[in-house]
A and B are shown apart, each in its own frame.
Chain A
């Protein structure tokens, strides 16, 4: 059975203090690892898709990386508007889509 865990559960950063979020997974044939951002009471917003180990993608202050067992979302010099819950999800060869529980990020001014 596919499993996705995320750590830490919650993270509090000062503005400008860089850090990384972790997503660990076990999956029967990875067909994609996805990162989403979710603001309270809203639907998840797509950020990145990664398909193979060694792949990296960047968008503004965010950079996602992938290994065979985990993915990292690096946040460089975060701003208060980066505060949100960051969700990781995997898709397997059976097209099953499984989400992790998320990391709640708070960036303080």
Chain B
């Protein structure tokens, strides 16, 4: 049973560019959440997608946007990248909005 997968594993961008990160949920899961984790800190909630709609959002600017596809996979888009956007971006999937979240390996983003 494949777990949560994310791509790419690493990414280097420059300030002002745009980036798209991808996530495929665990089999049987229909809800995807995205987190940003700075070095040495706990994950910070960005938003959650269920039934192809953004259901909840954390305290992140609208430079951060997302999408969920009919097969439950999801994308995270970040526009106008800032140096402070450098972090590990984690995707978590769950069976429904209230289910236990299982995390992917993350995408390490470095903004220069």
Contact = CB atoms under 8 A, between A and B. Distances in A.
Contacts of A49: 100
B44 interface: yes
A43 B101 contact: no
* Majority secondary structure, A binding face: strand
B103 A45 contact: yes
Given A87-B43, A99-B43, A102-B42, A46 B101 contact: yes
Contacts of A45: 103
A99 B42 contact: yes
Given A43-B4, A43-B90, A95-B56, A87 B42 contact: yes
A91 B101 CA distance: 11
Contacts of A87: 42-43
Interface of B: 4, 6, 33, 35, 40-45, 48, 55-56, 88, 90, 97-98, 100-106, 108
Interface of A: 4, 31-32, 34, 36, 41-46, 49, 87, 89, 91, 94-102
